[in-house]
Amino acid sequence: DIQMTQSPASLSASLEEIVTITCQASQNIGNWLAWYQQKPGKSPQLLIYGTTSLADGVPSRFSGSRSGTQYSLKISRLQVEDIGIYYCQQASSTPWTFGGGTKLELK
Amino acid sequence: QVQLQQSGAELVKPGTSVKLSCKASGYTFTSNHMNWIKQTTGQGLEWIGIINPGSGGTSYNVKFKGKATLTVDKSSSTAFMQLSSLTPEDSAVYYCARSRLSGDIDYWGQGVMVTVSS
């Protein structure tokens, strides 16, 4: 199985700050990488697919990038509504696997 | 709009089985594959398997083979997951979730809590 190592596990940031979350894939997954946001008591929601493409309705302050087998999610100016847990997911080969999650809190 | 409506919470005894349902609406049921995903505090998100509603073809995570069985009823646009020989380790929130050809999951059900306890 492809392992997705996500970091950090938790992150405290201030409003308007730039936030970056990373996922390291254990092998080449190309651009088959998605990011999800999960708010307390809710289902995960798709933020980014294909490494860099924004899902419908997602604010442009979110962006995704890749360097080799390391993938990053960037929030350019943190807003209150961005608080939650973020997960990466590889869709290169089954079993699809998720990162362990990053809990984003307000400082 | 696309909706995936899951059945209600379950409290079940060890050794028994449970069948969860996921009714899809707002799109052509056979146009997208349906996934089932387990979420626990300790293990995070785990992909259980996927079913093609059109053909009934399935693919399972080896970890859940023998534990989960995925089926669909095209006439009611409903996906099902049966979990067998339940143990406390099966206690979790289970999601049905629609995926696209690119493999990302664009719609999730609301999740159903399964508690296995005597």
In 3D space, the residue among B23, B14, B5 whose CA is nearest the CA of residue B83 turns out to be: B14
* pLDDT tens digit sequence for A45-70: 999 999 999 999 999 999 999 999 99
Measure CB to CB from residue A101 to each of B44, B63, B102 and give the nearest one: B44
Contacts of A36 in chain B (CB under 8 A): 105
- Maximal C-alpha separation, chain B: 41
Q: Are A30 and A43 in contact (CB under 8 A)?
A: no
Indicate if the pLDDT at residue B41 is higher than 90: no
Unique residue bearing structure tokens 């946001």 = A37
Contacts of A97 in chain B (CB under 8 A): 47
CB atoms < 10 A from the CB of B91, how many?
Answer: 17
Q: Are A85 and A104 in contact (CB under 8 A)?
A: yes
In 3D space, the residue among B51, B59, B63 whose CA is nearest the CA of residue B90 turns out to be: B63
Q: What percent of chain B has a predicted confidence (pLDDT) above 90?
A: 94
The reply to whether residue A34 touches residue B95, judged by beta carbons under 8 angstroms, is no
Q: What pLDDT does B42 receive?
A: 76
Is the CB of B36 inside 8 Å of chain A's CB atoms?
A: no
Q: What pLDDT does B11 receive?
A: 98
